[in-house]
Amino acid sequence: ISLLLIVYKTHSILREGRSSLIYALEPEGTNTNLHTDQQILLVSGFFPLSKSKHTAEDYRSWLTLFLGIVTTDVYFFTPPELAELVAEVRGSLPIIINTTFSSPFDIPPLVNLKEPYERMHAIDRERSRHSPELYAIWNGKPYFLDEALKNSEKQYSYAFWTDAGSFRKEHAYQSWPDSARVEEVWNEGSKLSGVAKEDLLFFPMWEPPHASMRNWQDTLGPVDTDFSEGSFFGGSPQTVRWWKELFYLYHDHYLTEGIFVGKDQTLINALFLLYPSRIITVWVTDPDAPAHQGLITSVEGSLGSCGDNWYYYQFWLSDLQTRNQMRKLWNSISWFQWWKER
């Protein structure tokens, strides 16, 4: 099974001194990102769990780092009692807040599935960390993304689900993801795959599946490995609709067969293997990436100090100026840590 990978050189690294790192900026005069009029919608949601390892202040902080800084249009699902908080942290930036659902179990694909999910919890190998509520939040994402597009007041070229807690540290991502960068990625993906860009779906990936997966068939069920990242995904409206229908088709089939589908990542992995030509991705731990060469990965991340590797796609999908701002931020943190250790 082949999978389309798009991996770009992200930044070069200069070493100075014994332990400090300086991340070279991209020359802004050579910026190839062109202005586009593509409209982008970010879709997200916040449904508190009855039991969570994070505090209310954690969530408020993360919501502020997302909703209070990112200026892209946002469509946000949350229970009625949290609408005021969401509106407060968003301020004057554009947002539609949908309070139709008090719980992910209220959305059409998951109605009447609370008890089946509770039974499924008994066969979860990570049941001490997961809950039926969490399954519903994960598995509700394809519906929320498509529903936001259907209810939006504008026509969008691309829509992306992004987890509300994805922005956890100081950042410079405002007009994000950058529309020109998105067009660049989709055009390259279409060129490499031969698939129309309107039919391409983006997911970040963590690591490739084991070689044994070349013999995988859909009758074997979801693929339980850290392959896909479900924190961020999307594409054109028609691809978002296709993904929603495909996801719940297999979700419902496996559920009726008594197969575990509580962790959306495992089902996403299976759909990657079934439809590889329609998936475009970025792989931050690619050992052949030019920016990876010469790094000490035991000290630095796979591509240097680029923040949390899981959220690398945030940097990757931003414009050149923002990438340089983030490099300056990471440089300042590196210097601070260097002096702190002296």
DSSP code string of 131-143: -HHHHHHHHHHHH
CB 270 within 8 A of CB 304: no
Strands 158-162 and 232-235: what pairing? antiparallel
Residue 92 is classified by DSSP as T
Write down the mean pLDDT value for the chain: 86
Residue 5 lies in a domain: no
Average pLDDT over residues 78-82: 96
CB 101 within 8 A of CB 143: no
Residue 48 lies in a domain: yes
The H-or-E segment that residue 336 falls in is helix 320-341
Residue 88 lies in a domain: yes
Strands 20-23 and 158-162: what pairing? unpaired
Name, of 35-39, 267-271, 293-297, the range with top average pLDDT.
Answer: 267-271
Residue 4 lies in a domain: no
Among 33-47, 93-107, 283-297, 307-321, whose mean pLDDT is lowest? 283-297
Residue 296 lies in a domain: yes
Residue 295 lies in a domain: yes
Residue 155 lies in a domain: yes
Average pLDDT over residues 165-178: 95
Length of the chain: 342
What is the reported pLDDT for 331?
A: 83
Domains contained in the chain, number: 1
Q: How confident is the model at residue 17 (pLDDT cuts 50, 70, 90)?
A: very low
Alpha carbon distance 342, 338 (integer Å): 7
Please give the residue range of the domain that contains residue 47.
Answer: 13-341
202 by DSSP, 3-state: which? strand
Residue 265 lies in a domain: yes
40 by DSSP, 3-state: which? strand
Q: What is the pLDDT of residues 92-124, one digit of tens each?
A: 999 999 999 999 999 999 999 999 999 999 999
